[in-house]
Amino acid sequence: MTSANPVQPDKTVLLDMYSKMSLIKHNDETARKLLMSGRLPMIYYSPRGQEVIPSAVSVNLRRDDYICTISRGTHDMLAKGVPLDALWAELAGRATGTCKGKGGPMHITHPESGCMITTGIVGSSMPIANGLALASQIKGDGRVTVAYFGDAASNIGAFHEALNMASVWKLPVVFVCQNNRYGEHTKFEKATAVAKVSDRAASYSMPGIHVDGNDPLAMHAAAREAIERARAGEGPTLIEAVTFRFFGHVFGDADGYMDKDEKAAAMAADPVPRYRQWLMDQGHASEAELAAIDTGHESAIKAAVEKALAAPWPDPSELYKDVFTHELAPA
Amino acid sequence: MSKQITTLQAINEALHHAMESDPTVLLFGEDVADPEEGGVNGASKGLSTRFGDLRVRSTPISEQAIIGAAIGAAMAGMRPIAEIMLMNFMTVAMDMITNHAAKLRFMSGGQTAVPLTIRCTTGAGFGTAGQHADYLEAWFAHTPGLKVVTGATPAEVSGLLNACIFDDDPCIFIENLPAYWQKGEAPADPGARIPLGQARTVRDGGDVTVITYGPQVAVASAAAEQLAGEGIGVEVIDLRTIVPWDRDTVLNAVARTNRAVVTHEAVRAFGVGAEIASVIHEELFGQLRAPVQRVGAPSSAVPYSNPLEKAFMPDADKVIAAIRKTLN
């Protein structure tokens, strides 16, 4: 770890971050295996390579804080505490899923853990995060809302409208841009007029933090600073966390548009094993302790998958439920 | 004669009452707070002074951010009223309205509710042309998850607005701009709610049923009055709620008269009238004495020039012509 972070989190937090990263990594490996085998066909945006960001953010959040995430979002959800059983049942489209099978991979919602929305529309997490934060500001409940989005979303109008409003109203919100270097198939530099998304914060008179999103300590420090600032009523922060996605835009994408050397270098610097090694080198955990975390997740994921695939499908009558509060007569 | 108030006063009083009775009711939109004169038409005058800047806020001209903030606040247990100054400006926020507000309850399996009211105003007749006067209710009616509501009199506007604010689903509340300064009977109680999904029979008549809403209620009533002089009985139904629309009242009425006309200010083609006419045909085909007629604006943008604008708007003559077609 290269971070010069002055206040290192204590061991519990360090291991909590690792546990989340390990959970995300193993969950993703399982998802891709299921897709490859054909056992679970689904639309899937792998977050592999981006594990550090939501793990470091989430250890700074309370259970009742809110997140708004996007279609590449299983890492954000798992880090915030969306339970595996309900998540996998939703990925499998089953009645027992978080959303009764009506949302699917791109729309996981689980208010109990603070995951208020997963949107499939680029840029739309931010305006809605503002509203959650606005409610907290009015109620004085001390909650913070985190809006996750990608680098490409900083080029859509909703980004501008939302960041401007959040700053004018000093909302308790943190905008976390996960810059994974590509918007769909287009390289960051080709689509974005600034070198750093965080520089855009200046337009909204809010702090902009540029951080290595694969460095757990640096990411932890950035997240803590922004979350504390929001919770103290001092307004929003834009964090640009630089990272890399290992498996393209959507599962099945052949990566033909990607710079092969860039990808190989990023995968060689895989942040999860790197952090695992660092924890051992620094004497924070033994191999056995970390292995126990890993295998615990692996077996929980396996059990969740089997349970999900055995769960019932939603009944066709569900089509007419939850459209409105009360079911209307068929139109 | 009971107290007469304008539609704007009715809206203002309903908003005051709603905010007074429930601290979770919020209002935001462009210029809505008192330093900005309580909205360009003054509909929200007095509210920020009385209820404070936390609950009543003038926003940047950022429709996506306005609706997004309203959605998020609604998901967190508030009852926001988001004012979009003119219905055409909702186009700028369509992602928020149709992909999010409308669908979040369903897509979350009922976990997140969006009890949001979007107030907007519109209507031809003021020479504002094609980007400030459209009736776009059919777009929203075609998106499952949104309720679409509009009133025809001050008391009706008040009662329906109250119902929308306290409804647990997202409501698009359409206000007719030219009607803002028209007077009508005041509601008995500014907090009274008119249940959504219930039409009102404006006048009885045994020969033909005219189904309409919003500004066309007055137009249809004028047409009915004129035909009454010829001994033709025209029943006028004000839908009040477009989604969910009151099928029972409409079908029962047409089952009595066996003739129907649907009229709205919105463009006729692919409009709300097409859906209603189809349902009438599906349900009452054997009983109808004539095909259901539809009246609406032609398929053009709202024009600027006064004579063109007059020609564009469905008036009593057009409604009468449609009624006569069902009688021949």
How far apart are the C-alpha atoms of A87 and A311, rounded to whole Å? 12
Closest-CA residue to A25 (of A50, A44, A43)? A50
Q: What percent of chain A has pLDDT over 90?
A: 94
How far apart are the C-alpha atoms of A190 and A199, rounded to whole Å? 17
Domain range list for chain B: 4-185, 200-327
Closest-CA residue to B128 (of B328, B321, B301, B270)? B301
pLDDT range class, residue B304, cuts 50, 70, 90? very high
Burial B141-169 (b: 16+ CB within 10 A, else e): bebbbbbbbbbbbbbbbbbbbbbbbbbeb
Question: Residue A331 has what pLDDT?
Answer: 61
Q: Spell out which residues of chain B touch residue A134, defining contact as CB-CB under 8 Å.
A: 69, 72-73, 78
Give the residue from chain B lying closest to A139, CA to CA: B24
Question: Residue A104 has what pLDDT?
Answer: 96
Q: What percent of chain A has pLDDT over 70?
A: 97
Q: What CATH architecture is A21-250+257-303?
A: 3-Layer(aba) Sandwich (3.40)
Write out pLDDT tens, residues A119-160: 999 999 999 999 999 999 999 999 999 999 999 999 999 999
Q: In Å, how far from its chain's centre is CA B169?
A: 16
DSSP state of B186: P
Q: Inform me whether the pLDDT recorded for B153 exceeds 70.
A: yes
Write out pLDDT tens, residues A282-309: 999 999 999 999 999 999 999 999 999 9
CA distance A305 to chain B (A): 20
Q: Find the mean pLDDT for residues A255-261.
A: 91
Question: Residue A18 has what pLDDT?
Answer: 98
CATH topology of domain B200-327: Rossmann fold (3.40.50)
Question: Residue A6 has what pLDDT?
Answer: 54
Domain range list for chain A: 21-250+257-303
CA distance B70 to chain A (A): 6
pLDDT range class, residue B328, cuts 50, 70, 90? confident
Phi and psi angles of residue B201, each rounded to the nearest 5 degrees, phi first: -85, 110
- The SS3 of residue B184 is strand
- The SS3 of residue B229 is coil
Question: Residue B2 has what pLDDT?
Answer: 80
Q: Inform me whether the pLDDT recorded for A5 exceeds 90.
A: no
Q: Is B79 on the interface with A (CB under 8 A)?
A: no
pLDDT range class, residue B108, cuts 50, 70, 90? very high
Q: Given B30, B63, B83, B175, which residue is catalytic?
A: B63
Give bridge partners of residue B294 from the DSSP assignment: B262
Could you tell me how many residues make up chain B? 328
Tell me what the pLDDT averaged over chain B comes to. 97
Q: What is the CA radius of gyration of chain A?
A: 19
Q: What percent of chain B has pLDDT over 90?
A: 99
Torsion of CA A34, A20, A117, B112, to 10 degrees: 100
Q: Is A169 on the interface with B (CB under 8 A)?
A: yes
How far apart are the C-alpha atoms of A58 and A24, rounded to whole Å? 13
Is residue A92 within 8 A of residue A313, CB to CB? The reply is: no
Give the residue from chain A lying closest to B70, CA to CA: A131
The domain made up of B4-185 is a member of CATH 3.40.1800.10: no
CA distances from A270 to A16, A78, A223, A244, B166 (A): 19, 19, 21, 9, 51
How far apart are the C-alpha atoms of A99 and A5, rounded to whole Å? 40
Residue B100 is among the residues annotated as catalytic for this protein: no
Write out pLDDT tens, residues A41-79: 999 999 999 999 999 999 999 999 999 999 999 999 999
- The SS3 of residue B296 is strand
- Given this chain, do its domains B4-185 and B200-327 carry the same CATH topology? yes
Q: Kindly give the interhelix angle for B247-257 and B272-284, rounded to the nearest 10 degrees.
A: 60
Question: Residue A4 has what pLDDT?
Answer: 53
Residue B281 is among the residues annotated as catalytic for this protein: no
Q: Find the mean pLDDT for residues A8-32.
A: 97
Q: Is B168 on the interface with A (CB under 8 A)?
A: yes
Of B68, B107, B244, the CB nearest to A103: B107
Q: Find the mean pLDDT for residues A184-211.
A: 97
Cα angle: B135, vertex A126, B55; to 5 degrees: 70
Q: Inform me whether the pLDDT recorded for B99 exceeds 70.
A: yes
